[in-house]
Structure formats: C-alpha cells, structure tokens
Amino acid sequence: MNKELIINAAPQGVEIALLEDKKLVELHHEKADASFAVGDLYLGKVKKLIPGLNAAFVDVGFEKDAFLHYTDLSPYARSLLKFTQLAINDNSPQGFNFANFQVEPEIIKTGKINEVLSGKPNILVQILKEPIAAKGPRLSCEISLPGRFVVITPFNDIVAVSRKIHSAEERKRLQKIVEAIKPKNFGVIVRTAAEGKNTAELHEDLAELVETWETIQRNLKGAVAPAKILSEQTKTTSILRDLLNEDFNRVVVNDRNIYNDTRNYIQRIAPEKAEIVSYYNNGLPIFDQYGITKQVKAAFGKTVNLPSGAYLIIEHTEALHVIDVNSGYKSVGNNQEQNALETNLEAAAEISRQLRLRDLGGIIVVDFIDMKLPDNKRKLLEAMEECMRPDRAKHAVLPISKFGLMQITRQRMKPEVNINTQEVCPSCAGTGKISSTLLLEDEIEKNLSYLITHQHKDLTLVVHPIMHAYLTKGLFKSRQWKWRWKYGQKVKIRENTNYHLTEFHFFDKHDDEIKL
C-alpha cells in the first residue's frame, strides 16, 4: 500500500492528511494553542472524591474538572503520589536518582478511591481522553511514555512484548535484550515496530524515553497545581512514530520549520527513509494540489456517495452514530441477493474509511441492505473486520443481528472531526428566497440610468446566461435596443456562467468593474 502524509501549516494550526493509495483515510487538525491532548502530562489537584462512582474530579486547569476513575489508577498509584511529592519538594541541583526510589506496595483492584486519594493530594496525571462536548478530560495515573520501538512505564520492572510479534524466537530475543538494558524502576513494553531491531537501536530509543522521564522530574520541581508538566509530541511526530513503515513513501510539508523537524526526526528513527520528506512551495494550496480539499468536500456531510451509485446516510445522535446503506440506482444483474452483497461490501470499505476519517467513536449501528443467505452475512462480517484492521483505535465488530443491523464499537479518544461542506447560497444568502426576476430588469435599468447621468460611457453589463438571453431576445425589439434608443448610447451585454440568476455587474471600457 502506498502511504503519503501531507502536512498543511497555517496560522491557526497544522492540518495533517494521511493518504492510502491517493485516498484520504485520516485527517488530523492540531490547533496552534492545543492543550489537553491525549498523552499530555499535568500536575493535578484532587478537588472532589465521589465514592458512589469510585472516582475523583481533578483540577488540571481546564474549565471543567477532569475525571479520574479508580480503574484508571495505576496499581502503583501510591508510588506515583510519593514520587510527585518528592519531585515537587526536591531541592538537589541534579534531582534525586530515580533508580534509588523505593516503590510502594501495589493497590488492590477492588479498592476504594477515598482510600488512595484521601487528603485530596496533588498528583501527576496523563490525559487519557480529550475534552468531548460538555465533558472535561479523562485522566489516567498509569503513566506511559511511547517511543518508536518501546514504551516505558515507571514504577514497575515488567518486560512485555507485543502479541503482534508472532515468532516465539523473536519474542525471546527482544525480551532478553530489553531485560539486559532496562534501567531499574522502569517497566518496558516492546512495540511491534521493534521486530528485527538490534540492541543499539532499542537502547537508543529507551535512553531517550528515560531522558524524557528525567525532564518530567525536573519540571515537577517547585510546580504548583494545576500545571502542564510535559506535552505529548506534536501530532506530526506522533503520527510518524506510529505509522512509519516500508509502505510510507512520501511526506510533503509546506512549512520550512516542520519540514526540518520532520526530516530530522526521520533521520533519527529511520535514516534510510530521510529522502521521503519534501518541501512544498508551489503557490497553489498544498491540499488543493494533492486533491485533499475535493475529497474532504465529498467525504463529509450527511450523504456520502459511492462510485457504483449507492450511497450512505450518516446520522449522529447523543448516544450513537447510525449509518444507513442505500442501493441508489445500482443494478448489476437480476439477482437481488448478489446485488445486495456487492453493494454491502462496497459500503463496508467506505464505512471503515469514514470511521477513521471522521474519528467516530462509541457505538456505531449500520443498517446494511437486507440479505437472506447466512453465507453472505458471514462474508460481509469478514470483509468489515478486514477493512477495520488498519484502524489504530480499539474496535469490535459484531455479526449482523436478526434485524439486519451490524453493531461496531470504536474507541473514542477525541472529539469527532466535523466539517461543514455546505456553502451559503450566493443568490439567497441563506434565506431560501430571492428577489422577483420581474423586478430585476427595473433594477438593472435604474442602475444604468444612474451611471449614464454620471457621464459613464462604453458600458458593459455582465449577467447570468438566462438573463442575457432575456435582455437580447428579439433583436430590434430587445431590451438592449430599447436602452440604446432611450439613453443614446450602446450598452454591451455579456454572459457569465459563474454568476447566479439575479447577479449583474457593470464594467467600463477598461473592463474594470464599476462599484455601485
């Protein structure tokens, strides 16, 4: 698969488009003043304990207090509380040595929030979910710092290897390497991207993450809650970190600073791919050049058309998203069951793309076209699961129910992407009504009379083609001739297909528009 990343930098933020075989599949928008992004670390102040929910509300500086559930407390929550206080009150110039930190006993899974967070302390937390609608951020105390090949988790000594690495020998090799190079008091999760990597590459990645943890320790010194302690990498870098593989063959950027940062990052993590980054300054907007603007306009909105003539209706409610599949004018043959299957398979591919593109989360209910054969229903389920495989968000697909509905759950990490693809009608300015065309001729003549009395000559009137036909119809009986006899001078009339029906403009002999 041919993967491209197109990065558009603008004053209000950075837009990142991921293309797979020239088709837009993900669109990310990083605002210039972005805060409370997933992965950001904050020093929070526990404000309120809710024993009934077994949760706490924590002030991290957002307008609404963030939510921290007991299940999102790390087993090492007491160690984290102790570390937070030690780091805040630390006066040593170099900072205390984390390797000598004494880890506290783990908390029990079935415990109570007020047993752990009594006294409403300050605590280091990580954003688990961005603020969505009326909800504040959701927090976690299971601090994790992701790198290219490994993820580190402080306060434990466990080494785990990604289940997606299937070779038992490779898993053992990676486990041995990481156990040999792992610093004390850090747990390490080996990512799928580490497969086949040597000790030096893994050690370099691990050393960078340990350095990041030391930065967190320094930033906590003397900090007053609520305060941001560390930002997750920029979306550009984090997307590259998670996606960069041999299929990724082009990164195009229209900002010199991001170009340099991206190139340096790739140079560091995958030197052989440094040449895939290119700087774009061609005049035409970068998203227009790569056809992204057009794809955005076609992909967002309530109705999404498919190449065969079938279409999707996507509706959003407070509780869930509903997608209806309609066959439109599609008709491959006389076999209704076969037609339904082919339309549904085509819709499944587009639905999986729409979920990634719009970042839809929660429960998604899909009403596919009814099929009778169990075999066809199984084929559709397998196709949907296959289409959803590249999706990085956690998801689950259920078989088609007896009502003909498929249910999908997808991890909701941040607000869904919602782009308004409709434009205000230039004729009615959004009112749904335009002035009577009967009065248009009078209005044009009134403006013409005004211009001629103010000594304007060699005038050209530009109108919509339908209006042009009306004004020039009948040669010597036309409105054009009537005005010539009335005002004693010729008025040229030109048509413009870009004008709406009631739009008209006057131009002088130099073809400059006369503002009225």
Q: Per-residue pLDDT for 270 more than 80?
A: no
Type and span of the H or E element at 395: strand 395-397
Q: Per-residue pLDDT for 103 more than 70?
A: yes
- Which among 190, 116, 185 is positioned nearest to 155, based on CA atoms? 185
The band of 15, judged by pLDDT with boundaries at 50, 70 and 90, is: confident
Phi and psi at residue 267, in whole multiples of 5°? -60, -35
Which of 22-26, 159-163, 208-212, 405-409 tops mean pLDDT?
Answer: 405-409
Quote the tokens at residue 5: 């990343």
Evaluate the CA torsion angle 391, 393, 396, 397 in order and state its sign.
negative
Least confident of 72-86, 393-407, 422-436, 445-459: 422-436
pLDDT in tens, 109-149: 888 998 898 888 899 999 888 887 678 888 999 999 988 88
What is the distance between the alpha carbons of residues 258 and 7, in angstroms, rounded to a whole number? 9
Preceding omega of 226 cis (within 30 degrees of 0): yes
61: how many CB neighbours lie within 10 A of its CB?
A: 16
b/e 257-291 (16+ beta carbons within 10 angstroms → b): ebbebbbebbeebbeebeebbeebeeeeebbeebe
pLDDT at position 382 is 95
Q: Per-residue pLDDT for 417 more than 70?
A: no
pLDDT at position 69 is 93
Axis-axis angle for helices 479-487, 437-453 (nearest 10): 30
pLDDT at position 150 is 92
Length of the chain: 516
What is the distance between the alpha carbons of residues 435 and 226, in angstroms, rounded to a whole number? 57
What is the distance between the alpha carbons of residues 45 and 225, in angstroms, rounded to a whole number? 6
Question: Is-contact 361 411, C-beta < 8 A?
Answer: yes
Local structure of residue 271 (DSSP, 8 states) = G
The band of 373, judged by pLDDT with boundaries at 50, 70 and 90, is: very high
The band of 511, judged by pLDDT with boundaries at 50, 70 and 90, is: confident
Least confident of 7-11, 69-73, 131-135, 378-382: 131-135
What is the distance between the alpha carbons of residues 101 and 169, in angstroms, rounded to a whole number? 34
Q: Per-residue pLDDT for 331 more than 60?
A: no
Q: Per-residue pLDDT for 437 more than 80?
A: no
Residue 16 Cα distances to 117, 178, 234, 354, angstroms: 40, 34, 11, 16
pLDDT at position 332 is 54
Between residues 378 and 440, the one the model is more confident about: 378
Percent of the chain predicted with pLDDT > 90:
30
Between residues 333 and 334, the one the model is more confident about: 334
Q: Per-residue pLDDT for 32 more than 70?
A: no
Average pLDDT along the chain: 85
**Cα 341 to chain centroid, rounded:** 31
Q: What angle do CA 429, 499, 426 make, to 5 degrees?
A: 10
Residue 217 Cα distances to 43, 104, 110, 433, 489, angstroms: 11, 18, 30, 63, 84
The band of 62, judged by pLDDT with boundaries at 50, 70 and 90, is: confident
Q: For the residues 442-456, what does the mean pLDDT come to?
A: 88
Question: Is-contact 123 42, C-beta < 8 A?
Answer: no
pTM, two decimals, is 0.63
Percent of the chain predicted with pLDDT > 70:
91
The band of 299, judged by pLDDT with boundaries at 50, 70 and 90, is: confident
pLDDT at position 505 is 92
What's the chain's Rg over C-alpha atoms? 31
Tokens 């908390």 locate to 107
